[in-house]
Amino acid sequence: MTTTPTSALPQLPFPRPDILDVGPTYRTLACTAPINPVRTAAGDVAWLVTGYAEARALFADPRLGRSHPDPENAARISGSAVLGGPMGTAATEAADHAAMRKVLTPAFSARRMSRLRAHVEDLVDGLLDELAAHGSPADLHEVLSFPLPVLVICELLGVPFADRHRFSAWSAGACNLNDRAASTAALGQLFGYMRELVVRKRAEPGEDVISDLVATVDGPDADGRVAGLGAMLLFAGHETTVTRIDVGTLLLLAHPGQADALRNDPGRVAGAVEEILRLGAPGGGGLPRYAQADIDVAGVHIRSGDAVLLAVSVANRDPEVFADADRFDVTRTANPHLAFGHGPRFCIGAGLARIELQAVFAALPARFPTLALAVPVEQLQVRSDVLTGGLTALPVTW
């Protein structure tokens, strides 16, 4: 795929000494060209796209997909069973994906989401009461960042909150980047759990998305398909948001002037959240695609079957698009970040994630104005073993 000797290619995951930055290797590559060949964590070759314009165009390009015409010989991205290699069938991917969007989109309609807003704000208030009651110091990850998205996704899907530690462990296990057998087993357990839930919802429907899906999806193996969709939502809908709450808090703690600006004018919260989404991408590596045809872009010839990684966190710092791109600025107005992707696979839960993040970052700085890290930032444990990255704990004082 390239004339660069492949043994010399930089290999993912790149070191990331500072969780609030993308790391030096990404920066060097982004300065070299918007698209560079790299070695994936699995040791295969892929195109890493760091330029904003190129990433946005490729997100929307129908010649890229998640499937591969010859999956056995596709470049592997990582050891994870989720996004670690090709998914789906090339011949039916577009139709399967359109059908998935058609079934899921109503569950996340703008109306349904705006009805949820007040409830999410109540949940945040309740968790902040618990934080206050716990007293300083506390682990913000444990008390706020983890339970909030999990409470919300559980209620939305009709999943018992009491099961949260089980499904979170499977969900985290499924995105283990290094152990394919463990990742596949965890995904199987998550799926099995959802299958049992689907059977229960069929017998006793509730006011929730899984019950709606049970009523909508028919045809062969309808329960299996609903379980698959439910597992995907449980997976996509919690860890992503958990990590943005952690990293958003860290960004505000690292920029006290910006936290003050937000506290003094809570109307800035929507802009602050967009800025957190732009800069606060905890994972690395990029969203995987496979070329379904030859593509010429930015002077690079991507051949049919090549793996492509859309490095959103780097594209979101492209100086061609964002003035003073590395600056965290809650008052930034033009902010067309790619944190939720772009094009046909644009995040279905973006509206929900925004509601959760806005509720957190409206309430947290106001109620805990003296919040500070309880340990030096270098001591925070950044996870490099899972797809979603993020922190294991966020010790704070106030």
Q: Residue 307 region, left (φ>0) first, then alpha (ψ -120 to 50), else beta?
A: beta
According to the binding rule CB under 6 A, does residue 153 interact with ligand HEM? Answer: yes
Smallest gap from residue 264 Cβ to ligand HEM (A): 25
According to the binding rule CB under 6 A, does residue 145 interact with ligand HEM? Answer: no
Smallest gap from residue 312 Cβ to ligand HEM (A): 6
Selected range binding ligand HEM among 4-12, 173-181, 188-196, 335-343, rule: CB under 6 A: 335-343
According to the binding rule CB under 6 A, does residue 347 interact with ligand HEM? Answer: yes
Of positions 341, 382, 395, 398, contacts ligand HEM by CB under 6 A: 341
Q: Which residues pair with 309 in a beta bridge?
A: 48, 288
Selected range binding ligand HEM among 166-174, 347-355, 369-377, 385-393, rule: CB under 6 A: 347-355
- 208: which residues sit within 8 A by CB, 6+ positions away? 155, 156, 157, 158, 201
According to the binding rule CB under 6 A, does residue 345 interact with ligand HEM? Answer: yes
Strand order in the sheet with 45-49: 35-39, 45-49, 307-310, 287-291, 64-65
Selected range binding ligand HEM among 25-33, 218-226, 240-248, 358-366, rule: CB under 6 A: 240-248
Q: With the C-alpha atoms ordered 185, 238, 100, 60, is the resulting torsion angle positive or negative?
A: negative
Strand order in the sheet with 372-373: 138-139, 395-397, 372-373
According to the binding rule CB under 6 A, does residue 84 interact with ligand HEM? Answer: no
| Burial of residue 396 (number of CB atoms within 10 Å: 0-12, 13-18, 19+) | buried
Q: For ligand HEM, which is the closer residue by CB, 42 or 352? A: 352
Q: For ligand HEM, which is the closer residue by CB, 250 or 287? A: 287
- Among residues 393, 349, 376, 398, the alpha carbon closest in space to that of 112 is found at 349
Give the chain's radius of gyration (CA, Å): 21
Write out the residues near ligand HEM by the rule CB under 6 A: 101, 153, 232-233, 236-237, 240-241, 244, 287, 339-341, 345, 347-349, 352-353
